[in-house]
Structures are given as C-alpha cells and as structure tokens.
Amino acid sequence: MQAGSVIFKVLAWIFLICIVSQVFIAGLAIFSDADNWSVHTSFVKTFALAPLIMFLMTFVGGIKGLKRWVSLGLFALVVFQFLSIQVFSSSSIIAALHPVVALLLFWGAVVTVKKNAKEA
C-alpha cells in the first residue's frame, strides 16, 4: 500500500473523529458553558485542512473516483463553514446553514471512512 493511501485513510478517520468532537464542543457551549465557544472556534483550525491534504493524497496514493471528489467537497464545505460564520453571520439565513453543513461534513466523513474500510 502506498504512503499516500495510508495517509488518506488515517486522515479520513481523524477528520471524522474531529467532526464528532467539534459537534460535542458546540453542545458543551450551548448546554453547559458558553466559554466553550472559544474552544469550538479554535479546535476547528487544527483539522480544517485535513480534507485538502486528503485530496492531495489521492494523487500521491493513486486514489481515484468518488473518494477524490468527496475529499475536495469536504474541504469546500469546511470553507463554507468558515464563511457562514465569519462573513455571512449578518445574514441569519446563511448563518443558519452552519449546523446543516456540519451534518453534511459528518455524512461525507462517514462515507469516506466506510469506502476505505470496504477497499482495505
């Protein structure tokens, strides 16, 4: 197995775990302590580039097809997450898409991990 393929698989799992953790942190901020919003906003910066690196690893690891484009789509969704809060927060309709996009990120991460498990 090529190094790029292994890195892709590891990052897919890390990204999924980070998405779940990020939602949990948001839940803590809502239901426990609002100070957790600072953790929520800083934690995302530790894994935001993972889908972009995954996309690049599809070329290095010879990964083609759906996994390549899902990883790029995940990165686009991460970018939209940043924009929905930082740029479009004055528009409540676009900002309200933030948790919906989190669901899409979770779904895409699960699909990516499951596809890796089937091809292992």
Give the residue numbers spanning the domain of 43.
3-118
Assess contact for 3 and 61: CB atoms under 8 A.
Answer: yes
Residue 84, pLDDT score: 87
Q: Select from 114, 111, 103 the least CA-distant residue to 20.
A: 103
Residue 92, pLDDT score: 79
Per-10-residue mean pLDDT for the chain, 120 residues long?
91 98 97 96 96 96 91 97 82 86 97 84
Overall number of domains in the chain: 1
pTM to 2 decimals?
0.92
